[in-house]
Structures are given as structure tokens and as C-alpha cells.
Structure 1
Amino acid sequence: MSTISDFGMTVRRSSDLSKHAAEVFAEADDHPVQVTRRDGEPLVLMSQREADARAQLLQLAAQLITLSLDDDESLEVGMTKLFPWMLALSPADQAECAKNVVDAARASFSTGQAHLAVAELTSWRETATALAAGLSSEPVDWLDEIESVERP
């Protein structure tokens, strides 16, 4: 058994799949497994979660590439049209969000780890949602002394 180190993919023979199915499936739960065959092209076995993350990353890549080709507006403006939740962020945070998402997408592509870009985008979306709900980083005033209240 060898490992394709660029993307953490383990290589297994098709006979391993039939003889040690539980072991191969456990590996595929953790990372994609390439199954080689004598009679055809190798196949890749991966979890649905991994396949969904890769599809989501490709969709994000297509959207970012489309935005980068537009010379009429900045990346932040284009991203606020693509992701309207970004409008809940300040202009400075919109710019930081755009940069962080692009950087995370680049890291995802270069490492084969789709979750990096997805997690960054999700983190910013959750921040925008919290800000829109009125939560902020303003300090909270806490009571210094215990207050007694009547029982309802």
C-alpha cells in the first residue's frame, strides 16, 4: 500500500476492497482511497461528505474566477453581490472577508483540503449573521453585585 502524499489519497488494489472491505471503507471515511484495477482505470472511493466538500469548493472556485475577471468592480463588491450576507459586514470587514476567502480557496486547491475554504466562508457568514442579529464586540455591562428578584 502506498500513499499519494499530495492529496492524502491511499492506493489500494481492488482485491483489498473485496478481502478487507471494512478496512478500506474506514480509510475512505477518513480520506479518499484510490482503488486500482487490472481491467480498467483506477476508481476513487470517498465519503459523501468529502465529495460534497469538493463540489462546493469547485463551485466557489468558479464563482471567484468569474468575479476576478470583472474589471469594473472590486472583488469585495462582486462578492457582496454573490454573497449578500456580506452586506452585514463593515466595508473593512468585507475587504478582509474577500481576501481571507480567496486565500483559503488557494490553500484548499494547493493542499487538496476542500474544508479550508468552506470553513472560512462559513465562519464569515456566521459572523455576518451574528452582526445582523445585533451581536457585536461591544463590552457587556455586568452587574457587580448580586441582585435579588422575586420568585414568579
Structure 2
Amino acid sequence: MLPAPASPRRDRAQSVQSSELSRNPSRVFAAAERSPVDVTRRDGEDLVLMSKREADARDALLGIAVELIAVATDDRGTLAERMADRFPWMLALGAADRETCARELLDSARASSATRQPHLAVATLTAWRETASALAAGLEGGIVDWFDEPTAVGRP
């Protein structure tokens, strides 16, 4: 029997015996779409069944962690300079934004690891990289005129 759906915090994977996977594959697969499922086996090493999205997110977090370890082991320059060496797109940011970006990337990677939520670090990295790309393309923040009231437009 499958345990109750996992909580949003994925502290522990659900666990099923391999025979349950054989008897009720659709239920086990549905559970694996929500969070990883440990498949225990008598005749071999236990396996983990997870969605490709989950595996890709973990791979992305591992990739970020590799770069952050390289930054941490380098002693040349400031944190922001070392981060910009590993993430060259950061050079499109101003000096103050590079410092903020570096700190946010480290903090989100730590939070992702601590909570087992890889998307936190990936989302932070993506947001900063897209900001840098927009700045490099000349899309700098300017004065924005907001409409206070809805404005009717004609049909195209």
C-alpha cells in the first residue's frame, strides 16, 4: 500500500516494495510524479523512481553547486568577481547588482539543499541570468507609465 501523498517538503521519499510496483504501477507512477519513491527490493539494491523533471532539477542544482564550490575554493578577488568568472553573464550587471546576485545565488543554493527544493536555486540563477541578458540587450529600467484605469482598445 502506498503511503499518503508527500508533504511539500520532501524530507523523505515515499517507500514501496518492488512487488507493489508490479501490482499497482499506475499508483506508484502517480506517486513518483509528486515526489521520489524508494523502491525496495529483496534481490538487489533499492532504486529511486522519480519524474524526469525532478531528476533534471537535481542535476541543475548539482551543476550550480559545482560552480559554487569552485568559487569557494578560489581565493582571488571578491566573491562577486569570482562568481562572475564562473558565470560570465554576471558581467552585464552593475557592480552592486553583481554583489547582490552573488549573495542571492549562494543563499538560494543553500536553501535549496537544506529544503531539498532544487527549483529555488535554479529559479534564482535563471532570474538573474535573464536580468543580465535584458540589460545586455539594452532593456534598462526607465520610467514606466502605468494605467490607473482599464483602457479599452479596438479589436485587431
| Cα distance in 1 between the residues matched to 2:53 and 2:14 | 17
Contact preservation (8 Å) 2:57, 2:119: yes
User: What RMSD over aligned residues (CA atoms) do the two structures have, in Å?
Assistant: 2.1
Percent of residue pairs identical: 54
Amino acid paired to 2:16: R
Deviation at 1:13, TM superposition (A): 1.3
Q: Tell me whether 1:77 sits opposite 2:108 in the alignment.
A: no
Amino acid paired to 1:140: V
Q: Report the equivalent of 1:10.
A: 14
Q: Report the equivalent of 1:93.
A: 97
| Cα distance in 1 between the residues matched to 2:103 and 2:63 | 18
Q: Report the equivalent of 1:107.
A: 111
TM-score if structure 2 supplies the norm length?
0.83
Moved over 4 A (4+): 1-6
Q: Report the equivalent of 2:71.
A: 67
- Structure 2 counterparts to residues 38-77 of structure 1, below 5 A: 38-77=42-81
Higher RCO (Cα < 8 Å, 6 or more apart): 2
Q: Report the equivalent of 2:34.
A: 30
- Any idea what SS the aligned residue of 2:126 has? helix
| Cα distance in 2 between the residues matched to 1:138 and 1:115 | 30
Amino acid paired to 1:96: T
| Cα distance in 2 between the residues matched to 1:101 and 1:53 | 16
Deviation at 1:119, TM superposition (A): 0.8
Q: Deviations over 1:39-85 (max 9, x none)?
A: 22211001112112111211211211111111121221111121111
Identify the match of residue 127 of structure 2 among 123, 130, 134.
123
TM-score if structure 1 supplies the norm length?
0.85
| Cα distance in 1 between the residues matched to 2:126 and 2:51 | 21
- Any idea what SS the aligned residue of 1:38 has? coil
Deviation at 1:141, TM superposition (A): 5.5
Structure 1 unmatched ranges of 5 or more: 143-152
Deviation at 1:140, TM superposition (A): 3.2
Contact preservation (8 Å) 1:8, 1:31: no
Q: Report the equivalent of 1:148.
A: none
- Any idea what SS the aligned residue of 1:35 has? strand
Number of paired residues? 143
